[in-house]
Each structure stands twice: as C-alpha cells, then as structure tokens.
Amino acid sequence: MKIMNCPLNGPRNISEFAWGGELRAMPDPNTCGAHEWADYVFLENNTAGMVREWWCHVPTSFWFIAERDTVSDEIVRTYRATEVFKDRVEFKTAPLPGEPGS
C-alpha cells in the first residue's frame, strides 16, 4: 500500500488519510459577493502536476499540508499547516439581520 508521511504520526498507510483538496485563499465571507463565494466553493484549478493540498490523518483528525504530483502520484513533502499559516486565522461571523453592517 502507498505510504504517506504524517507530520504528527509518521509514515502510515494511505488508507488512513482523507484528501482535503487544494489549498486556496478564502475570500472574506462578510465582504465578498455570491459569485466570488461560488467560485471559491466550487471552481477547481484541478492542476496536472505539483499541487499543495490539505490532507487529514483520520484516526487522529490531524490536518496538514502535502505537496504532491498529480501526474506521477508522488508525494513530495508533507508538513504542518503552521508552516503556511503563521498567525491564527480568525473567522468573523456575518452580522445578523438588523445588526449594524447587515
């Protein structure tokens, strides 16, 4: 079986992991329009070649980032998300109807 190196748990069978899709920047849900949000939710680069993706080690629910070649099926590098996200990401909730800024 194909082996993936989990940054937390070390080398494990690929069947223990779930594919999370491309790493991409989320638009601000409070300011972006419906079209931009639909683009973010649905559209894919679907790159043939090197990609940066989210993966999850399911038994430990540990999410991390993998660099992988989608043509040769080679996993080049896996690392903790903290390498990319240096600061804590705050998710601001949209204001409720009637609140200021709604």
Partner 1 sequence: MPFGLLKYGLSRKHPVERHFPLPTELKPAYDVVIIGAGGHGLAAAYYLAAYHDITNVCVIDKGYLAGGNTARNTAIIRSNYLTPDGVRFYEESLALYRTLSEELDFNILYSERGHFTLAHTDAALRTSRWRAEVNKHMGVDSELIYPDDIHRLCPSLNLSHDVRYPILGALYHPPGAIARHDAVAWGYARAATRRGVEIHTNTEVIGIHEENGRVTAVETTKGVVRCGLAMQAVAGSSGRVAKLAGFRLPIKTIPLQACVSLPLKPFLDQIVVSGSLHIYISQTPRGELVMGGSTDPYGLYSSRSTLDFKEGLLGHMLELFPFLGDVHVARQWAGMADMTPDFSPIMGLTPLDNYYIDSGWGTWGFKATPVCGRRMAELIATGRVPDILYPFRLERFAEFAQVGEKGAASVGH
Assign residue 73 a region: left if phi > 0, alpha if psi is -120 to 50, beta otherwise?
left
For 67, other C-beta atoms within 10 Å of its C-beta total: 15
Minimum Å gap between C-beta 52 and partner 1 is 13
> Which residue, 73 or 87, has its beta carbon nearer to partner 1?
73
Phi, psi of 70 (to 5 degrees): -80, 5
Nearer to partner 1, 45 or 102 (CB): 45
Instruction: Identify whether the C-beta of residue 52 lies closer than 8 Å to the C-beta of residue 22.
Output: yes
Comparing CB distances to partner 1, the nearer of 13 and 82 is 13
Residues that bind partner 1 (CB under 8 A): 1-2, 14-15, 18-19, 21, 34-35, 38-39, 42-46, 48, 70-73
By beta-carbon proximity to partner 1, the closer residue of 40 and 81 is 40
Contact in structure between 77 and 66 (CB atoms under 8 Å): yes
One-letter amino acid for residue 14 of the chain? I
Q: In angstroms, what is the minimal distance from the CB of 70 to partner 1? A: 5
Smallest separation (angstroms) from partner 1 to the CB of 19: 4
